[in-house]
Amino acid sequence: MNANTGIDIAFGRAHLTVRLPAEAEVQVIRKRARPKLPDPHAAIRAAFDRPVAAPPLRELARAKRSACILICDITRPVPNHLFLRPMIEDLLASGIPAARISVLVATGLHRPNEGEELAELIGDPWVQQTVEVVNHFARNDADHVDFGHTPTRQTPVKLNRRFVDAELRIATGLVEPHFMAGWSGGRKVVAPGVAHHTTIRTFHSARFMEDPLAVQCNLVGNPLHEEQLEIVRMLGDVYALNTVIDEARDLVHVTFGEIIASHLAAVAFIDKVTRVQVARRFGTIVTSSASTMR
């Protein structure tokens, strides 16, 4: 292609145009486009009604007295505006009082999302008017329940008390390649998302980061992924809504169900389109840190 025309790459809330020398031999590598869901609301409704390895959402919520929904923080462009309200409406319709439903922002060790930023993250004023929305603070010792250590690698496990104590626990997020965990979403929203700083720092230690299997698009033998699975199993019943979006941040796939099975179903979908085979190595690669919320 002609490099002088410029190449747009996602960056922050918009794009950066990269212009390269005329003599540069440019090859644009991008994942194969997937069709947008023609009716995202109907797709989310179908995911709630026909979950992966779990009963329908309203059935899950029946007879429960409390619920906590995890959402990713502002650094992840998750389409919360599409699913939070119908999810909460299902919980209310099943008899859980609004006062016993909370949305917990899985900040990990990031700063809290507040004010206009929090409103942007939620994407629907009705949600903030109806239920409590709070941030996770990884350094607040009293906010966590100590589960001891994982059996395999002795990772300290402390998780947010609000999520642990809820009778219905739901994680929500975005499934995309992750440089250490293989794929984001699912179990990762729990740990490190709402974990204590000691758990998070262990995950980001050299013991995990230097492991050759702790790489993007790999779950087989990935020590970080395996520890995350052990942690959610220690926690008990957890469910997840997993979204896949395209480069325009529009929804192309959604799953709901048991946290491990529903995440793997989303990974199976995205894995087919994310890996791009190239014929050779390149001397220079230009990329970006992708995008955040709109």
**Average pLDDT, stretch 17-46?**
90
The pLDDT of residue 79 = 98
The pLDDT of residue 5 = 65
The pLDDT of residue 290 = 67
Residue type, 40: P
In the predicted model, is pLDDT for residue 136 greater than 90?
yes
- Secondary structure of the chain in HEC code, one letter for each residue: CCHHHCEEEEEECEEEEECCCCCCCCCCCCCCCCCCCCCHHHHHHHHHHCCECCCCHHHHHCCCCCEEEEEECCCCCCCHHHHHHHHHHHHHHCCCCHHHEEEEEECCCCCCCCHHHHHHHHCCHHHHHHCEEEECCCCCHHHEEEEEECCCCCCEEEEEHHHHHCCEEEEEEECCEECCCEECCCHHHHCCCCECHHHHHHHCCHHHHCCCCCCCCCCCCCHHHHHHHHHHHHHCCCEEEEEEECCCCCEEEEEEEEHHHHHHHHHHHHHHHHCCCCCCCCCCCCCCCEECCC
**Average pLDDT, stretch 9-27?**
83
In the predicted model, is pLDDT for residue 249 greater than 80?
yes
Which residues contact residue 175 at a Cβ distance below 8 angstroms, ignoring those fewer than 6 apart? 183, 184, 185, 186, 242, 243, 244, 263, 266, 267, 270
The CATH H-level superfamily of 36-277 is LarA, N-terminal domain (3.40.50.11440)
Q: How far apart are alpha carbons 188 and 105 in whole angstroms?
A: 13
Q: Mind listing the pLDDT tens digit for each residue in 172-194?
A: 999 999 999 999 999 999 999 99
In the predicted model, is pLDDT for residue 254 greater than 70?
yes
Q: Which of residues 61 and 19 earns the better pLDDT score? A: 61
The pTM for the full model equals: 0.93
The pLDDT of residue 4 = 56
Average pLDDT, the chain: 94
The pLDDT of residue 108 = 98
The pLDDT of residue 293 = 56
Q: Which of residues 3 and 41 earns the better pLDDT score? A: 41
